[in-house]
Amino acid sequence: MSDAHEASTGQPPSSPPSPADAQSDLGGFLAPFDVQADPVLLQQAVTHRSWAYENGGAPHNERLEFLGDSILGQAVTVKLFTDYPDLSEGELSRRRAALVSSVALAEVARTVGVGQHLRLGVGEERSGGREKESILADAVEAIIGAVYLSTDSETAGRFVLRLIEPLIADPERFTISLDPKTTVQEEADARGITRPAYDIVGSGPDHDRRFHATVELDGFNGEGLGISKKAAEIAAARELIAKMSAKGQLKHRKSR
């Protein structure tokens, strides 16, 4: 039961899950990947610092995130280097950046249901923390770190590759890059036209603010929603580039 429950019902949230409960819950998440992890480490991996601060300085996931980030980067680098011998260093770097970006890792987190396991402080819960790309991405990296510490480097590497396998199989992941706003700017430059501005409208109370962004370029338009202006702009840019790509109108990519 979340901290938000207390705000809406007046009842205190249930006590945090025990390590055994965390293992049971997250075991369902890890089972398809044929890996296991220490339940204490798993619980720590999904504990945001906001929850730790409100609970006497309990361990949180930032150190595990640091470890997992390194393991993720190494596994992805070796995979790309091995599978794409003809790509330049610049293109390999571009693909790696896309695969390890917060956008990509948050997509992985949503696909496998990491958000429902997060332990967040009251404020973070109320501000939509379970959907924040940065928090979701950090949790994925922390889980990778927990798997590494519970198993070995080879097992952790296989786990990483299975996590990102759908992204590697999706060529649009590399066309619509980790920063679609930059791609929109590149497309405007390739056409010799002014880089587009984003129209943003906010709605909702301060503790649950949502933003809607729109952007237009050369007859194409994109719309996006987010819990921040930046997130809404990124979503709008991604939709715009996806539409242009579907029509074969990515001029910047063709010029490479």
**Catalytic (active-site) positions:** 69, 141
The dihedral built from the CA positions of residue 195, 105, 68 and 83, taken in this order, carries a sign that is: negative
Q: Which amino acid is at 161?
A: L
Residues 6+ apart with CB under 8 A from 235: 213, 222, 223, 224, 225, 226
What are the residue ranges of helices labelled H in the chain? 3-9, 19-30, 39-45, 49-54, 62-83, 89-100, 102-112, 122-126, 133-150, 153-168, 172-175, 180-191, 229-246, 251-254
CA 2-42-25 angle, 5° bins: 55
Report which of 165, 161, 122, 147 is spatially closest to residue 7, judged by C-alpha positions. 122
Q: How many residues are there in the chain? A: 256
Residues 6+ apart with CB under 8 A from 117: 22, 25, 26, 29, 46, 139
